[in-house]
Amino acid sequence: MKKSVMKMNLQHFADRFDPSNVLLQDSRTGSIPSEQGTLVLKEFMTNSLVAQLATYEEMTKEKKEFMYLAEGPGAYWVSEAERIQTSKATWLKAEMEAKKLGVILPVSKEFLRYSVSDFFNQMGPAIAEAFYSKFDAAALFNNNSPYASDMSIWERIENEGNQIEQATTGNIYTDLNSLLALIEDGDNEPNGFTTTRRFRKDLRAALDGQGRPIFNEPGQGATNQVLGLPVGYANRKSWDYDKANLITGDWEFARYGMLQGIEYSISEDATLTTLQDESGEPINLFERDMFALRATMHIGFMTLKDDAFAALVPQGSNDGE
């Protein structure tokens, strides 16, 4: 009888679990509460440059196969009453695999006395930034990437040789026009630029053949445009300044997807070997009266064509190639 009552009480507690009333120190592992988890994912998708431009694929398992249109059907001239020839579109199969992305954040121990909800309300933006910075670096430049090496935007650009060295013509307008032409040569439709905020000054100074600015900054949070195409700005942690000043492409040929929610775990006695103190020693949480939050998510990424992307590269980048 007592065991039955205990079981009922535990079930009652589980059914009534409220993250706003449970302290983080009493809930050291689990999934980020749905409301806060949704906000983290929303922040991720709003700030990740790749998530803004690439096409989203719904994922319900670790690997997803999908079909994409590589070439549309053809049409034929016909005489009256002549039989119309049949052609078919070229559909290709692709497989995208979700990879685990993790972040460890050292936090003051006072946060253990926050409710689970309050803690993730506070830390959500930092978690999202860590995620989207790492994801964009991998997807754009293949930096520390778990994906196949030929899946990054940069590998596609290098495979096709779609690079233009800035200042080759001395005119960014001409450079960007030629960059778009590289995409259009493959019968693709460039639909967005990616760059960094420090390159914005170069775009503001660029003029077309009639002396008109090619950069449009509408203000009030509206998207900047160059030559009529939207411009997205990457987090500085995710951009490889040595490789590119700006990237453009037909982003229909870049796909990403996310699997399940964000899970977390906390530790008070770990030694963080990848984080060093002022003396160059690994951070020991116990000695510093801190704890570390580890959060993980699963995200997939792939590209579908070599000739769909191009980059404006720093002067001298192509020397010796």
Question: For residue range 112-121, what is the model confidence (pLDDT) as tens digits?
Answer: 888 888 888 8
Q: Which of 268, 267, 287 is closest to 277 using CA atoms?
A: 287
Spatial distance between the Cα atoms of 20 and 118, rounded to a whole number of angstroms: 7
* Residues ≥6 apart with Cβ < 8 Å to 242: 314, 317
Q: Give the highest mean pLDDT range of 69-73, 243-247, 263-267.
A: 243-247
Mean local confidence (pLDDT), 113-138: 89
Nearest to 255 by CA among 132, 61, 97, 70: 97
Q: Does residue 164 sit in helix, strand or coil?
A: strand
Cβ contact 102:127 at 8 Å: no
Choose among 221, 176, 192, 225: nearest CA to 51: 192
Just give the CATH number of 23-66+99-313. 3.90.1690
Lowest mean pLDDT among 40-54, 152-166, 242-256, 264-278: 264-278
The residue ranges of every structural domain in the chain are 23-66+99-313
- pTM for this model (two decimals): 0.80
What letter does residue 202 receive in the DSSP assignment?
Answer: H
Q: Is 301 exposed, middle or buried (0-12, 13-18, 19+ CB in 10 A)?
A: buried
- 15-64 pLDDT, tens digit per residue, is 444 666 577 777 778 888 888 888 888 899 889 999 999 999 999 999 98
Question: What's the CA gap between 136 and 240, in Å, rounded?
Answer: 10
Of 11-15, 126-130, 223-227, 264-268, the poorest mean pLDDT is in 11-15
132-146, 222-236, 273-287 — which one is most confidently predicted on average? 132-146
Phi-psi region of 211 (alpha: psi -120 to 50; beta: other; left: phi over 0): left
